Chains A and B, each alone.
Chain A
Amino acid sequence: MGIMEIKGVRYTYDNKRNILKSVHADFEAGNMYAIVGPSGCGKTTLLSLLGGLDSPTGGQILFDGQDIEKIGLAAHRKNDVAFIFQSYNLIDYLTPQENVALTSKLPPLPILERVGLTKEEAKRNVLKLSGGQQQRVAIARALASDASVILADEPTGNLDEDTAIEITNILKECAHQMNKCMIIVTHSNELAKQADMILKLRKGELQIVDASDSNAGKEQKN
């Protein structure tokens, strides 16, 4: 049993459109997962359900064997998971250091340095940082929360190729060296290729794809 488990999760928009029909998945700590699929297939919805931002129409999401509805979604968001967004979503009136300290259970500066920010950069206005630097702050904020699971929605979507590679490496490092369960929703094949496992969401179902298959063409039903 993994740290996070999805059991027959369904999600319907306005009681009409079945975006997720019956999703099953098992996520383990120390691995990086990439969820791929066409636009509008429900990838971000699935990530929101895993992060406790919304409740599924049916089925269960378990964290460490416990239903997150029973844990409480706010408590689950606070203690078990951390988010990294495509548009970084840093709070603009706080410095990088303060953004990380927002929910930090750990000292922010060493974490910021670990993701590649200098001490000076850590005290600057976040809006004066480059996109790559802002995403590093977002990753540091996720790591500082000490959550076991990090949910990343298109973390390299707004970045140039070189910076995207750097960020991908950081995410991979976080999963492998810090024993985090990294679940990434992405359109990027390059990022997906770096994942330990690729999962494809199609027609409301999640399928495991061979991680070595960069085009995610070789599918295996979960």
Chain B
Amino acid sequence: MNLFHRAFLYVTRKITKSFTLFLILLVISTLVLSGVAIKDATGTAALNVRQALGGVFTLQQNTDDPSKWVSTPVGNTGSQSYYDGEPLTVELAERIMAGTTGISGYNATYTNYTVPLNTDGKILELLESEDNGSSLGSLIAGSGDFNSTVSTIAATNTAYDSYFAGGYIELVEGKHFTTMDKNSAIMSSELAQHNGLSVGDKITLRMSEYKASMMGIDASKTKVEVTIVGLFRSTAKSTTSLSNWSMDNSIFTTLEVVKTARPDMGDESFERIQFYVNDPGEIDNIVKNVKKLPDLDPTDFIVSIDSSNVDAVMEPLANMNRLISILILLVLVVGAAILCLVLSIRMKERVHESGVQLALGISKKNIVAQYLTEVLIIAVFAFSLSTFTSGFVAKTAGHQLLDNTIADSVQSPAAKSLGTSMDGETFLGSSDFVPEFEGSNPLTKIEVEIEPVMVAGMFSIGFLMICAAVMLAAAPVLRMKPREILSKMS
């Protein structure tokens, strides 16, 4: 009777012992395989996060550089300063797009405030919301129609707008607009409903009479009619310094419309242009290439890669990755120790059998090989089953861990991103929101899968661990003379 036959008979006849060992190996292999799968998924999640959050850079005017300002005399004693660098225009954005590969799109923005009116010339009834506790509300009380102004965001492509792309607001009806769509506007569905408006309706925007009188401008001549092409809904809570400047009262439109409604803008152009790149891994090279463009003076602009949102997600992901690596190692070490302990106890119980087999002329190597084969037979079944159990464990635990990690990290910057400056001129204008494109959220599409290569690795490591454990457990028996074993058994 060869060792394989003996091993098979032992495994099938000592059912309780075999089943105990089966459970131990199943638990170890399930934990290890689940850990490896989750670790692998964190890698995929990190890539998704980089792709979703990492591929954006922003162009702003370099107004902090004093050499970019030119002063001209006004009258006999006064002087006027203006920024002499290249303005942020659609033409500039198109030039950068044309001269650089790897950019998927852009959106240029400028924010001001206007008074919205319906077709009857009545000011729209605005939505009430809590302000952020600033004293601006009390300061402007009694300032005419200033309380009816709304944040008016000029955009070149609302699909790439950081509020939409970041998922803080979503288009619920209609469509996005680009520079091709003249006199278009997008407003919140709640504000539209509040005033009986819908997609296709027209509204009018004009300068605040209060502000216009201060500037010596006739507000009635600043009226500009726009068509509502889309409605949005807020998905994140926001606070503002004035209730009428809340996100739900805001209106997206084109720069031409804002310029008409706010003639005091003069030659001002966009405040910033955000460019979205195809491969986030290439963003540093793309920014370098932008700065090297021949018809562009890099000192005119500040080019920034905003990685705060990426870092906010990547750091917990990296921590989780480290934690899972430690857990896998821990499971392997503890598992190996438990396996070694169980096998040592079993080996002690089988000293009698070992002695008998030695007395019958079966070699020590053959006996140890039989014990090893027994564990390997059980391991094949345990490891095979673990590919299914670990699939379930990894998916359940992995999704829970990854979703929490990413959701916490993505949502946390939302509140602080919304804000306003006290002068009331640049409301909601300069925040860098996380881009997340319409209809697609790669962060929620994390798949925790058991790959064949993981199973192969687990089988290899498992078999090596079993070999080591059996050799360690059998070492005392291997060192003993047959007579010592027989005397132990008697």
Q: Which residues of A contact B (CB under 8 A)?
A: 48, 51-54, 73-75, 77-79, 82-83, 85, 87, 89-94, 98, 101-104, 141, 145
Contacts and interface: CB of A to CB of B under 8 A. Distances in A.
A51 B359 CA distance: 8
Nearest to A49: B483
Given A89-B489, A101-B1, A53 B353 contact: no
Interface in B341-360: 352-353, 355-360
Interface stretch (B9-17, B97-105, B165-173, B428-436): B9-17
B361 A74 contact: yes
A93 B360 contact: no
Contact of B361 (A48, A79, A93): A79
A177 to B, nearest CB: 23
B360 A83 contact: yes
A139 to B, nearest CB: 14
Interface in B1-21: 1, 6, 9-10, 13-14
A54 B360 contact: no
Contact of A91 (B353, B363, B483, B489): B353
Tell me what chain A mostly uses at the interface: helix, strand, loop, or mixed: loop
B490 interface: yes
The 6 A-B pairs at the shortest CB distance, nearest first, are namely A78-B361, A54-B483, A77-B361, A53-B483, A93-B13, A53-B482
A211 B352 CA distance: 35
7 contacts: A48-B486, A53-B486, A82-B360, A92-B353, A93-B10, A141-B360, A145-B360
B363 to A, nearest CB: 5
Contacts of B490: 87
B322 interface: no
Tell me what chain B mostly uses at the interface: helix, strand, loop, or mixed: helix
Given A79-B361, A87-B490, A103-B360, 14 more contacts: A53-B358, A53-B481, A53-B482, A54-B481, A73-B482, A77-B359, A77-B482, A78-B361, A83-B360, A89-B352, A90-B356, A94-B6, A98-B9, A101-B1
A80 to B, nearest CB: 9
A82 B14 CA distance: 27
Contacts of B482: 52-54, 73, 77
B18 to A, nearest CB: 11
Contacts of B1: 98, 101-104
Given A77-B361, A87-B490, A93 B9 contact: yes
Contacts of A82: 360
B329 interface: no
A138 to B, nearest CB: 10
Interface string B1-43: 1000010011001100000000000000000000000000000
B92 interface: no
B34 to A, nearest CB: 34
**Which of B1, B352, B360, B363 has the most CB atoms of chain A within a 10 A radius of its CB?**
B360
A115 to B, nearest CB: 17
A152 B483 CA distance: 15
A212 B359 CA distance: 32
B265 interface: no
B323 interface: no
Nearest to B13: A93
A129 B361 CA distance: 25
A94 B10 CA distance: 8
B362 interface: yes
B14 A103 contact: no
A115 B38 CA distance: 63
A52 B360 CA distance: 11
A91 to B, nearest CB: 6
A160 to B, nearest CB: 21
B359 A83 contact: yes
Nearest to A101: B1
Contacts of B362: 78, 102-103
Contacts of A74: 361, 363
Nearest to B365: A74
Contacts of B352: 89
Nearest to B363: A74
Contacts of B357: 91, 102
Contacts of B355: 89
A89 B363 CA distance: 17
Contact of A77 (B9, B353, B360): B360
Contacts of A48: 483, 486
Interface string B384-418: 00000000000000000000000000000000000
Nearest to A100: B1
B371 to A, nearest CB: 13
B477 to A, nearest CB: 14
A48 B359 CA distance: 9
A87 B486 CA distance: 11
Contacts of B10: 93
A141 B360 CA distance: 9
Nearest to A142: B360
A142 to B, nearest CB: 9
A84 B359 CA distance: 10
A51 B481 CA distance: 13
Nearest to B17: A93
Contacts of A104: 1
A53 B10 CA distance: 25
Contact of B359 (A53, A87, A98): A53
Nearest to A83: B359
Given A53-B482, A94-B9, A98-B1, A77 B358 contact: yes
Contacts of B361: 74-75, 77-79, 103, 145
Interface in B448-490: 481-483, 486, 489-490
Contacts of A77: 358-361, 482
B365 to A, nearest CB: 10
A132 B434 CA distance: 85
